[in-house]
Chains A and B, each alone.
Chain A
Amino acid sequence: MKTEACRNQDLGAFVDGELSGAARLRVSQHLASCEACAATADALALLGEDVRSAAAVPAAPPELEGLAGGVISRVRAERAQSWRGFVDRLVDDWHYALVGAGAITAAFVSIGIVSVMLEFGPRPERDDSLAALIANLNSPAGTLFVEATPISGKDRDPILMQVGNDLPDSDGATSGAVPVVLRYASEQELVGALSDAMTPDGRLLELHSMSEQQRRYTEGLLDTIGRLRSGQTAFSSTGSLNVHSLWLVTNTGVTAKGI
């Protein structure tokens, strides 16, 4: 008689060998103790054997041997009829034209890419290029440093003065035109005058290559600027500086040139 436990047994999967180890063991134990389920399992197995026996198929019909040829022929015909086959036939003799068109297209694409790179790409700039030269000429020439010792004070230490130096306008009027009298009210004007002492292209004249008048003028400027910067009132009005050295720290190549 079937019980609740019998209904929970998956006899079909058991007969088919689809149960895992634990489930298979559980069904096996149940079948050992339940004659009804054992009979059902046997009936299922017998049913499978009956179906397999009935399914004995005679030898394949001779038409089956020609199946492959027939199928391949139909596939070939379908491909020939398809739009893909049509395109394949259409371009069958076009391969040279396609190769030529491809080469021309590639050439145009390459030219286009190079043009875009030249137009919008980063431009390498060399130090000696014209663009670099123009950029340098348009930038401040550098910073002027002056090392000097006040003449009036024997025990004074040498002082180092930094003078701002912007390039003067290149109007040609400052070349060699050195004012005789130093009467400037502010440091800015003194620095401007010092800038005027330079040649229009930003080159600095060395003191020893200046004329006596130019040298005194420049030294006077530097002296005054130094006093203004250092705040040394001892030589604020009449004192002077003994300039030891004068150099320009600049980003541009400065070539000393005698006047």
Chain B
Amino acid sequence: MAVGASVKPLRALTWPDAASADWALVQQCAAGDESACTRLVTDHQRMVYQLALHLLGDPQEALDVSQEVFLRVFRTLSQFRGQSTLRTWIYRIVVNQASNRQRWWRRRRRAQQVALDDHTAAHGELAEGRAFAQPDSVLQQQEAARRVWGALDALPFDQRAVVVLREIDGLSYEEIAVSLGVAVGTVKSRLARARESLRLALRPA
């Protein structure tokens, strides 16, 4: 190391920093700053899309819900008080929008029309013609993924949302409770029931 050189430690990003950054971004968006609105969307669009996709299982539905989510975010931005993180607040909107969308489809008997194959195809399953070129391990992974998504798809929406938020998005029980608007105890019980259902569904025949 050169003589006289000094290393200045970087300040870690703490929760107040993140909260104030969220708050500043929200304030700018509420004031009509379009660049801030764009930044809010680009910062969270992948997270929103993936969660919507995991909850609904359909890429096109996930895209539509993502757009509805951000519209909802901007319409209700004045209601954000900073009591939770912006991310958790958006999670909650995603879950609500996905739940509404699923309920709407269920009324139109769409639930029976969405085949599991459609979902797995959307998640990267290769065309039949190319499947022969895949190694056995890849095919096994795809089969395992199909079984997991089938089991998830069979869960009630509330339980599926808890499993997705916990296992895929890695939220804590408290964050899940805030995102779903329920108590932590409810999160634990839903998660326990969902895991039991998944364990039974994925049990080797």
Which B residues are CB-close (under 8 A) to A47? 167, 195, 198-199, 202
Which A residues are CB-close (under 8 A) to B199? 43-44, 47
Q: How far is the CA of A71 from the CA of B48 in the complex (A)?
A: 14
B63 touches A63 (CB 8 A): yes
- Interface size of B by CB at 8 A reads 42
A171 within 8 A of B: no
Which B residues are CB-close (under 8 A) to A76? 34
B144 touches A51 (CB 8 A): no
Of all chain A residues, the one with the shortest Cβ separation from B53 is A57
Contact among B71, B149, B168 with A52 in the assembled complex (CB-CB below 8 Å): B168
A18 touches B163 (CB 8 A): no
B195 touches A54 (CB 8 A): no
If over half of A's interface residues share one DSSP class (helix, strand or loop), that class is named, otherwise mixed; here it is helix
- Interface size of A by CB at 8 A reads 33
Contact among A18, A58, A61, A70 with B67 in the assembled complex (CB-CB below 8 Å): A70
A16 within 8 A of B: yes
Q: How far is the CA of A94 from the CA of B54 in the complex (A)?
A: 51
Q: How far is the CA of A46 from the CA of B37 in the complex (A)?
A: 40
Min CB–CB distance B164 → chain A (angstroms): 8
Of all chain A residues, the one with the shortest Cβ separation from B146 is A54
Q: How far is the CA of A15 from the CA of B124 in the complex (A)?
A: 30
Contact with B along A1-45 (1 / 0, CB 8 A): 000000000101100101000000000000000000000000110
B50 within 8 A of A: yes
Which A residues are CB-close (under 8 A) to B191? 12, 16
Q: How far is the CA of A52 from the CA of B54 in the complex (A)?
A: 11
Q: How far is the CA of A9 from the CA of B166 in the complex (A)?
A: 20
Contact among B50, B63, B70, B148 with A50 in the assembled complex (CB-CB below 8 Å): B148
A58 touches B37 (CB 8 A): no
Please name the 5 residue pairs, one residue from A and one from B, whose CB atoms are nearest each other, closest first: A54-B148, A68-B41, A54-B145, A51-B167, A71-B70
Taking Cβ atoms with an 8 Å cutoff, the residues of A that contact B are 10, 12-13, 16, 18, 43-44, 47-48, 50-58, 60-61, 63-64, 67-72, 74-76, 78-79
